[in-house]
Structure 1
Amino acid sequence: MKKNVLNCVGWALAGLSASFAAVVAEAAGPVAATAPLTTTSAAGSGQAMLGCLIEPDKVADLGSQVIGVLDGLRAERGDYVRKGQVLAQLRSDLERATADVARTRAATEADLRSAEASRDLAQQKMRRAEDLVVRNFIAHQALDQARADLQVAEQKVLQIREQLRVWGREVSVAEAQVGLRSIRSPFDGVVVERYLSLGERVEEKPLFRIARIDPLRVEVIVPAARYGTIRAGDLATVRPDLPGAVPLDATVSVVDRVVDAASNTFRVRLSLPNPDHRLPAGLRCRISFDDAPARPAGGKNARLIDGLRMEASLNPPPKMR
C-alpha cells in the first residue's frame, strides 16, 4: 500500500516539474525570438570568393554599308588597331572616277567668267543709255531695255555661282561614296577574327571582329543575400586564373536592379584597367568584394543577417500568470 502511494506521489511531482518547465519555456520564448541576432557571414566580411569571367569591354563585328569585292586587307588576326584605322578596302574604281569628274566640274570657271563679262557689258550699255536719254538722243524705252538686260545678266551670274556650290557638294557626296569602300575600326582594340579573304564578295557577312581589351569587363553573379552591399564605384579584388597573374583592383560599374528569381542571384559588372594589354580577355577569375555591409534602413535595433534586415524588439516579455 505504501509502495503504491509513493509511486503516485512520484508521478505527481514529475508532472508538476514538466508543467513548470513548459511555462518557463513559453515565457522565455518571446525573449529569445526578439533578441538582437548577430552572425559572422563570409559574404558580409568580404572574404568570400566568387567565380567571375573577364571579357572584352566591347566587341564589334565590322561589316560594310555597301556591297562590293574585297580588294585589300591591312589587318590580320591578333593585330592592335586604332580608332579610324583602315582595315580593308573594297574595289572602288567607279566611285573614284565619279569623284574625279565631280571635282573637275566643280573647278570649272568658264561659265562664271562668261556670265560676269556679259554683266559688265550690260552695265556699260545702261550707262550709255542713261547719257543718251539725258541728251534726248534715244527714247526712255531703250533705257528700260538696257536696265532689264543688266538685271538678267546679274541673275545669270548668281545662277552660275549657285550651280558651282551645288557641284562642290556633289564632290563631297562622291568622296563619301569612296569612303564607304574603306572599312575602319570603330575603336581601339585587337583583331579577334578575319572572316573574308581577298576577292570575296562582301554583302551581309562581317569582315572582322574587333575587341577592346582596355579596359576589360568583369562579369560576376552574386547571391541575392548580398544585394545592397555592393554599389557602383566600390572596389573589388580580381584574381585571374592565369599562372603568374597578380591580384588586380576593379571598380564596380553596373549593379543589376532585378534579381533572377530562378537562381536567386543578380549580376554585377566591373571595369578592370588593362593599359599594357598584358591580361587577355576570356579568362575565368575569382573575385572578392572588400566593402562593408550596407547600414540597415531600419532603426538602431536592426541587424543584417546574411544580407537580410532583421528588426529586434526591446519590449519586455509578457508576465507569467
Structure 2
Amino acid sequence: MKIKALSWLAASTLGLGVGCHAESLGCLIEPDRVADVGTQVVGVLEQMKVERGDTVSAGQILARLTAQVERASVNVAQTKSAADAEYKQAVASYVLAQRKLDRTRDLVKKDFLSDQALDQADAEARVAEQRVAQAREAQRVALREYQLSAVQLGQRDVRSPFDGVVIERYRTEGERIEREPLVRVARVDPLRVEAIVPAAQFGSILAGQGALVKTDLPNFSALNAKVVLVDRVIDPASNSFRVRMVLPNPDNRIPAGLRCRVDFIVAQPATKDTAPILPTAPVSMPPPVSQKSRPLPATHQSADPLDMSAVKKSVTEAGRTLPGARVFAQNQPANGRSAVKSYLLMRQARLSISTSLAAPGKNKSQSMSSFVVPRMIAMR
C-alpha cells in the first residue's frame, strides 16, 4: 500500500496519471522456451531417467544410450595416458649417454681416446635426447585420446539444455535412436505473454511498460507483466503488430497455454483538476542587505529627516562646498605634506559626520555643523 501511494504521488507531481487502454486485448501465455531434446549419435536407448511433468535443471541427464564400446575405449585410453614406462626408459638412456659423453671428453683431453670416440659418444647422447622427447609426445597423444574417448562417451547421455519441465516424452527403452528428439522440455519461469495489438496503437506501447494480464482462473485473475519486445513491422494482412511480455512465475505456479486478456498500463496526461499548481513566475529571494546599507535600529534613528539645507549652510560658512570626494581639493598647498594632512582631515570629517548622524536624540543639522565646520576651518 505504501509503494502504491508513493507511485501515485510521483505521478501526480509530474502531472501524469496512471491508466489502461479502454479495451482489453486478447493474449496467450506461453512457455519462455521450448526445446525438443535429442542425441547427436545413433544408438539404442538404454535408459529414460525422466517422465512427463518432471522438473529438471540445466545439465541434468534425461536419457542414456548404450555405451559399452565407448566405456571400453575410455578405459584403454586412460591406461595408455597413465603408462609412463617408455618415458622413464628414455630418460634413463639419456642420462647414461650424457655420462658416457662426459667421460669420453675427459679421456680425449688426456689423449687416451681419439676424437672419433668423442663424436660417437656425442651422437649417442643426441639420440637419447630425441627418444625422451618422443616418449613425452607419445604421452601427450595418449592423453588426448583419453579426452576424445571421454567426449564420445558423454555424447551417449542426453542432457537438459535449461531449467524447466518435461512436457512430452517421445521414446522408450530399447528403441533405436537416429538423432530424433527423445523428450520435450519447456521453461516456464518466467512465462511469455504474446498479444496482437491493432496498428492504431503503435507507438503507445513501449518496452519496459507495465501490463495487467487477466485469466479465467480464480487464483490468477490479475497478473503483473512487463513489455520486453514490440515488433517494428506491422502485418499488412491483419493491420496489427505483436507485443511480447514477460510474466514472472516463481515455483511454476502459473500454467502455460492459458488464453488471457491484457491491459497495457500507460501514462495519461493530467487533467485540470489533478494537475499540480506551478508558479507562473520564478520565485526569487530578496537581495541581501549589505553591511554598509543596513538600516540603523529604531532606537538610533531620529524622527525628523535630514535637513540638507542646513548642511549646505554649515559648509558655506566655512567657505567651501561639499561636492563629494573632492572636498578641499582646491586652493591647497602644493607641497606633499600639506596635501596628506588635508586628505587625512577630510576623511576624519566624513567619519565624524557618519557618527553624528547615528547618534540618538540629536538634530542632524546641528551635528553636522558641530563636526564639519571646526575641522574645515582648521584645514584652512
- Shorter-normalised TM range: 0.7 to 0.9
> Which residue of 67, 72, 76 maps to 2:42?
67
For 1:1-321, what aligned pairs fall within 5 Å after superposition?
46-292=21-267
Unaligned runs of 5+ in 1: 1-43, 295-321
- The CA deviation at 1:73 is 1.2
- The CA deviation at 1:204 is 3.3
Check whether the contact 2:20–2:263 (CA below 8 A) recurs between aligned residues.
no
- Say which SS state the counterpart of residue 26 (structure 2) adopts: strand
Check whether the contact 1:238–1:250 (CA below 8 A) recurs between aligned residues.
yes
Unaligned runs of 5+ in 2: 1-18, 270-380
Q: Deviations over 1:54-100 (max 9, x none)?
A: 00000000011000000011100000000000010000000000000
Q: Given residue 126 of structure 2, which amino acid in structure 1 is its aligned partner?
A: Q
User: Which stretch has the larger CA shift, 237-246 or 249-258?
Assistant: 237-246
Check whether the contact 2:105–2:118 (CA below 8 A) recurs between aligned residues.
yes
Q: Deviations over 1:235-267 (max 9, x none)?
A: 100112223323111111110011011111000
- The CA deviation at 1:155 is 1.1
Check whether the contact 2:41–2:179 (CA below 8 A) recurs between aligned residues.
no
Q: CA–CA distance in 1 between the matches of 2:61 and 2:129?
A: 47
Report the CA distance shift for 1:268/1:293 in structure 2 as closer, same or farther (over 3 A).
farther
Q: CA–CA distance in 1 between the matches of 2:111 and 2:131?
A: 31
Q: Given residue 159 of structure 1, which amino acid in structure 2 is its aligned partner?
A: Q
Q: Given residue 111 of structure 1, which amino acid in structure 2 is its aligned partner?
A: E
Check whether the contact 1:239–1:246 (CA below 8 A) recurs between aligned residues.
yes
Q: Given residue 179 of structure 2, which amino acid in structure 1 is its aligned partner?
A: E
Q: CA–CA distance in 2 between the matches of 1:280 and 1:205?
A: 27
Scaled by the length of structure 2, what TM-score is found? 0.65
Report the CA distance shift for 1:158/1:135 in structure 2 as closer, same or farther (over 3 A).
same
Q: CA–CA distance in 2 between the matches of 1:159 and 1:204?
A: 41
Q: CA–CA distance in 2 between the matches of 1:119 and 1:103?
A: 27
Q: CA–CA distance in 2 between the matches of 1:276 and 1:139?
A: 88
Runs of 4+, deviation exceeding 4 Å: none
Larger Rg: 2
Q: Percent identity between the aligned chains?
A: 56
- The CA deviation at 1:163 is 1.1
- The CA deviation at 1:166 is 1.2
- The CA deviation at 1:156 is 0.7
Check whether the contact 1:195–1:206 (CA below 8 A) recurs between aligned residues.
yes
RMSD over equivalenced CA pairs, Å:
1.3
Check whether the contact 2:227–2:244 (CA below 8 A) recurs between aligned residues.
yes
Report the CA distance shift for 1:97/1:216 in structure 2 as closer, same or farther (over 3 A).
same
Check whether the contact 1:47–1:289 (CA below 8 A) recurs between aligned residues.
no
Check whether the contact 1:229–1:293 (CA below 8 A) recurs between aligned residues.
no
Which residue pairs with 1:16 in the alignment? none
Report the CA distance shift for 1:69/1:143 in structure 2 as closer, same or farther (over 3 A).
same
Report the CA distance shift for 1:169/1:70 in structure 2 as closer, same or farther (over 3 A).
same
